[in-house]
Amino acid sequence: MSTATTTNAVELEGKDLPAHCPNPAMPLWSSHPRVFLDFQHGEAKCPYCGTAYRLKPGTVVGHH
């Protein structure tokens, strides 16, 4: 998992799924309730902090 910058989304691989925010790379002071992300068209956005997440090209999302 890589960390987001102001212009880029956090890129995730299949091993990072199911994904949630806040992610493990975020500092404790920026915590909010954990929310699992629902990827639509390979992208998701946290409803609490607005962090954008994107699946790396070729990532396969399994269905549970």
The Cα 37–Cα 20 span in angstroms is 5
Where in the chain are the domains?
Answer: 10-55
pLDDT at position 48, please?
95
For 4, counting Cβ atoms within 10 Å of its Cβ (0-12 exposed, 13-18 middle, 19+ buried), the class is middle
- Bigger pLDDT: 7 vs 61: 61
pLDDT digits (tens, 9 = 90+) for 10-60: 999 999 999 999 988 888 887 899 999 999 899 999 999 999 999 999 887
Please say whether the beta carbons of 12 and 56 come within 8 A. yes
Residue 7 banded pLDDT, cuts 50, 70, 90: low
pLDDT at position 46, please?
96
Using alpha carbons only, how large is the chain's radius of gyration in Å? 11
pLDDT at position 61, please?
73
Give, as one character, the DSSP assignment of residue 6. Answer: S
